[in-house]
């Protein structure tokens, strides 16, 4: 508890007013994230995952409950908390290099150190050769990788990632998951990752938070007590993956029987 970077989300509810009526997006969210922990959030579309990240990063002030960082209520954005948005949100007039550089704007480094960091992050996300490309010249996945580099370059204490690998091909995705894990272990950053990919969640996280929709609330938190780096082929890994899946869908896969028969039996 003495270590810095403890995030506590206490009984948080969030409503949006849409044309006079109120829409309850999050209800009674309770979640503690330890410093250096990796937490994933999974849940159906529209259950409030992005909204929860917006609250933590400090973009929404109007909510009930408390979001505390080291005991202090979060009132707005800070360089200690970074976010990679669901859409890449790169500045269209700036090159890849300039976009990543804007993430370092407030860092107390000299120009040479900044340039070195920027280049390292461009290489990290595999955009070498595209330093001077503008966002419209990149594919969706490339733009998303540039956005990941911008989120990482400043080394925040807490990094929030909203489906960062959603638009990537399987190979790049696995590569970046491994890289993200390497950065996470090396730099001791707390990471909160929203994803639709259950395997990704189980591969990376200490805990997987499963959310329910309308209103958004935490259904269950599944701990993943496996050693890093994890083996996706490990039976225990598969077992945890199924556990999370069954929480999301309410559907219990019976691995001993062929899938067709399960469907048939359910009818």
Partner 1 sequence: MSTLSADIRTLPKRGFRIGTLPAAFHATHYRGLLIPLVLLVLWEVAAQFHWINPILLASPSIIFHGFDRSLTEGDLLLNLQLSVTRMGLGWLAGSLIGLAVGLAIGLSRTADRVLGPTLHAFRQIAPFAWIPLISVWFGLGDSAKVAFVALVVFFPVVVNTYEGIRGVPKQLIEVSRVLMFSKARLIRSVILPAAAPAILNGLELGFLYAWLSTIGAEYLMNATGGVGSMMESAQESLEMDIVFVGVIVSGLIGFGISLSVRLARTRLLHWRKSFA
Give the residues lining the site for partner 1 (CB under 8 A). Answer: 57-59, 76-79, 81-83, 85, 87, 89, 91-95, 102-103, 105-106, 128-130, 132-134, 136-137, 139, 154
Sheet architecture: strand order including 72-73? 21-33, 7-18, 64-69, 72-73
Residue 40 found at the interface with Mg ion (CB under 5 A): no
Residue 245 found at the interface with ligand ATP (CB under 6 A): no
- Between the CA of residue 200 and those of 35, 205, 213, what are the distances in Å? 21, 8, 21
The separation between the first and the last C-alpha atoms of the chain, rounded to the nearest angstrom, is 50
Site string for ligand ATP, 174-213 (x = CB under 6 A): ----------------------------------------
Chain center to CA of 34: 15
Nearest Cα neighbor of 31 from 22, 19, 21, 43 is 43
Nearer to ligand ATP among residue 5 and residue 48 (C-beta): 48
Compute the least distance from the CB of residue 226 to ligand ATP, in Å.
26
Residue 190 found at the interface with Mg ion (CB under 5 A): no
Compute the least distance from the CB of residue 12 to partner 1, in Å.
19
Give the footprint of Mg ion on residues 92-121 (CB under 5 A).
none
CB atoms within 10 A of CB 17: 9
Q: How many CA atoms lie within 13 A of 69 on its CB side?
A: 17
Give the binding-site size for ligand ATP (rule: CB under 6 A): 12
Are 68 and 8 within 8 A, CB to CB? yes
Are 12 and 63 within 8 A, CB to CB? yes
Q: Residue from 1, 18, 105, 260 that binds ligand ATP (CB under 6 A)?
A: 18
Give the footprint of ligand ATP on residues 80-139 (CB under 6 A).
86
Q: Which stretch binds Mg ion (CB under 5 A): 6-14, 80-88, 105-113, 210-218?
A: 80-88
- Between the CA of residue 68 and those of 4, 13, 57, 74, what are the distances in Å? 12, 14, 11, 6
Q: Residue from 9, 29, 37, 50 that binds Mg ion (CB under 5 A)?
A: 50
Compute the least distance from the CB of residue 140 to ligand ATP, in Å.
15
Applying CB under 6 A, the residues found at the interface with ligand ATP are 16, 18, 23, 25, 45-51, 86
């Amino acid at each position: 508890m003495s270590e810095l970077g403890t995030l506590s989300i206490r009984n948080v509810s969030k409503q949006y007013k849409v044309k006079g009526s109120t829409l309850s997006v999050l209800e009674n969210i309770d979640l503690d994230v330890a410093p250096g922990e990796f937490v994933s959030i999974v849940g159906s579309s529209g259950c409030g995952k992005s909204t929860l990240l917006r609250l933590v990063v400090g973009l929404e002030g109007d909510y009930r409950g408390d979001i505390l960082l080291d005991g202090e209520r979060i009132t707005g954005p800070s360089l200690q908390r970074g976010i990679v948005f669901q859409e890449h949100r790169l500045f269209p007039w700036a090159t890849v290099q300039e976009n990543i550089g804007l993430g370092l704007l407030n860092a107390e480094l000299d120009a040479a150190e900044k340039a070195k960091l920027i280049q390292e992050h461009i290489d990290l996300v595999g955009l070498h050769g595209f330093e001077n490309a503008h966002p419209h010249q990149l594919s969706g996945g490339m733009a998303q990788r540039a956005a990941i580099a911008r989120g990482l370059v400043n080394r925040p204490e807490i990094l929030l990632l909203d489906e960062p690998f959603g638009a990537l091909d399987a190979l790049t995705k696995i590569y970046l998951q491994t890289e993200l894990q390497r950065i996470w272990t090396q730099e001791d950053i707390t990471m909160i990752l929203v994803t639709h990919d259950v395997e990704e969640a189980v591969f990376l996280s200490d805990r997987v938070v499963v959310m329910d929709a309308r209103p958004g609330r935490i259904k269950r938190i599944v701990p993943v007590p496996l050693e890093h780096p994890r083996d996706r082929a490990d039976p225990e890994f598969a077992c945890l993956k199924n556990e999370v899946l069954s929480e999301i869908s309410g559907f219990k896969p019976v691995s001993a029987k062929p899938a067709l028969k399960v469907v048939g039996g359910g009818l």
